[in-house]
Amino acid sequence: MKSWSNSTRRGLLLIVAGVLLVGLTFGASWAFAPNTSVVSPGAENNTTTLVGVQGPGWGGSVVEIDNNGTTMWSVGNAISYQDVTQLDNGTVLATYADKYRACGPYKPPCKRTGVRFVDPQPNTKVTGEWSYPVRTRKDSEVHDAEILPSGELLVADMEYESIYTYNFTTGKPSWTWNASQYYDAPSDPTKTDWLHINDVDRIGDGRYLVSVRNTNQLIIVERGKGVVEVINENRDPSILDKQHNPHWLGDGAVVVADSENHRIVELHRNESTGKWEEAWTVYEVDGIQLDWPRDADRLPNGNTLITDSRNNRVVEITRNGSVVTSYDVPDLPYEADRVPFGESYGQPYGTEGESNVLGERSVNIPVLSTLLTGARHVISLPFWVSELHVLVVLVAVTLWIVGGFLLVTSRWSS
């Protein structure tokens, strides 16, 4: 019987070592991961939470969960969903994007984006939609829309970087503000992700709060006047970095998901200087650092509802960071709305008497953080998978390649 050569033994040892390294690292992380499903006695009864889910790859959905975190209903059939709002009649308005063959000026199959109307009862189904074809989903997806008191639809348009009101009766916009009136525009904004206007909220009569993601700015636009105020005029990424879903708290205060800074921040206008300053900041919830949060709403009870996108959870916390509820939700949630409150809001937090910074800023690890971020947008990963796991996989793959090479060369030389 022929004995194994030294190269064969080394090759097998390297392959086994790689398997053990991956198994032990992932197994230990899974075993000791904190629980992300928490409901405390402080949770409000008779409320539910709507969640718009982008999903990795092509897995978008709208989900409604009760105050215990149980899924009541869901609807998919789209590449992605973003903003979700329950209307007065119980219908859910959701912005979305999907593949179509009705492409207008573009070659099929193309992407269309707009809003869908979802009727949850008695059998959940999409009862209507308004959409239009776009050149690319990346540059042109509608992330936010809402029904105005007039019955018109207020739209944050990424195709031409504008906000406008759409009249369903006439089938045409009734008013438009183009970002090119304030920002220097490229020759064709449909061919580039120029400003990425991802949110617009009515904050008064003819007055709108707009999130301009790529400039790290929030702006206030008034009909007939244009831009009347800018938050983060210098585009300082330490103040805001590619933010999502700001929530207006009344004149001089806003809470916003500061996504690329992996935090929720409440900003107040300094009445003496006119500058916007940090008043309350959250970097972690329940011992888990926020990872690309994309929504924060101040609830009427004074708590804050956070959509922690890459950790696949929606959490409600108190002023001091205590967890009231923490719901596990489908992968890459975009926005959450507490029903029946919707876009109503509580008061801004004061800056005296309590800590204004909860947790510590997460550390970005070159290469490893980029690889992990990319993976989360393609496949479903547990929230506890970190840069350490990426490093372990890279080391294990190296061991397997070297081990396989030794086995092959050993076989050739025998």
102 with 241, same domain? yes
Residue 40 in this model has a pLDDT that exceeds 80: no
- Distance between the two ends of the chain, CA-based, in angstroms? 13
In a domain, 32, yes or no: no
CA dist 55 and 329 (Å) reads: 10
Q: What SS3 string covers 280-292?
A: EEECEECCEECCC
109 with 243, same domain? yes
| 413: Cβ contacts below 8 Å, ≥ 6 apart | 5, 7
In a domain, 414, yes or no: yes
**Which amino acid would we find at residue 196?**
H
∠ CA(156), CA(180), CA(172), 5° rounding? 50
Of the chain, the percentage scoring pLDDT greater than 70 comes to: 97
In a domain, 137, yes or no: yes
233 with 301, same domain? yes
67 with 190, same domain? yes
Residue 275: alpha-carbon gap to chain centroid: 27
Residue 97 in this model has a pLDDT that exceeds 50: yes
Residue 38 in this model has a pLDDT that exceeds 70: yes
Residue 3 in this model has a pLDDT that exceeds 70: no
280 with 320, same domain? yes
Is the model's pTM score more than 0.85?
yes
In a domain, 2, yes or no: no
Nearest of 278, 229, 221 to residue 254 by alpha carbon: 278
Give the model's pLDDT for residue 137: 77
168 with 290, same domain? yes
In a domain, 233, yes or no: yes
CA dist 115 and 84 (Å) reads: 10
| Mean pLDDT, residues 102-106 | 87
Give the model's pLDDT for residue 338: 95
Q: What SS3 string covers the chain?
A: CCCCCHHHHHHHHHHHHHHHHHHHHHHHHHHHCCCCCEECCCCCCCCEEEEEECCCCCCEEEEEEECCCCEEEEEEEECEEEEEEECCCCCEEEEEEEEECCCCCCCCCEEEEEEEEEECCCCCEEEEEEEEEECCHHHHCCCEEEECCCCCEEEEECCCCEEEEEECCCCEEEEEEEHHHCCCCCCCHHHCCCCCEEEEEEEECCEEEEEEHHHCEEEEEECCCEEEEEECCCCCCCCCCCCEEEEECCCCEEEEEEHHHCEEEEEEECCCCCCEEEEEEECEECCEECCCEEEEEECCCCCEEEEEHHHCEEEEECCCCCEEEEEECCCCEEEEEEECCCCCCCCCCCCCCCCCEECCCCCCCCCHHHHHHHHHCCCCCCCCCCHHHHHHHHHHHHHHHHHHHHHHHHHHHC
189 with 257, same domain? yes
* Counted domains in the chain: 2
In a domain, 376, yes or no: no
Sign of CA dihedral 320, 322, 324, 325: positive
Beta bridge partners of residue 88, listed in sequence order: none
Nearest of 233, 296, 299 to residue 262 by alpha carbon: 296
Looking at residue 108, which CATH number applies to its domain?
2.130.10.10
| Residues spanned by the domain of 411 | 385-414
Residue 151: alpha-carbon gap to chain centroid: 27
Give the model's pLDDT for residue 414: 60
Interval 344-367: pLDDT, tens: 777 899 776 566 899 988 888 999
359 with 404, same domain? no
Interval 373-386: pLDDT, tens: 999 888 888 889 99
Interval 120-179: pLDDT, tens: 988 999 999 999 999 887 778 899 999 999 999 999 999 999 999 999 999 999 999 999
Give the model's pLDDT for residue 207: 97
283 with 401, same domain? no
Give the model's pLDDT for residue 135: 84
CA dist 361 and 284 (Å) reads: 8
In a domain, 34, yes or no: no
CA-to-CA dists, residue 249 to 48, 54, 107, 203, angstroms = 22, 27, 44, 9
Give the model's pLDDT for residue 286: 92
Give the model's pLDDT for residue 380: 80
Residue 282 in this model has a pLDDT that exceeds 70: yes
395 with 310, same domain? no
Give the model's pLDDT for residue 102: 85
Q: Identify the band that residue 319 occupies on the pLDDT scale cut at 50, 70 and 90.
A: very high
80 with 130, same domain? yes
CA dist 49 and 325 (Å) reads: 11
287 with 405, same domain? no
CA dist 135 and 190 (Å) reads: 7
Give the model's pLDDT for residue 107: 86
Q: Identify the band that residue 119 occupies on the pLDDT scale cut at 50, 70 and 90.
A: very high
Interval 228-247: pLDDT, tens: 999 999 999 999 999 999 99
Residue 240: CB atoms within 10 A of its CB come to 27
Q: What is the mean pLDDT of the chain?
A: 92
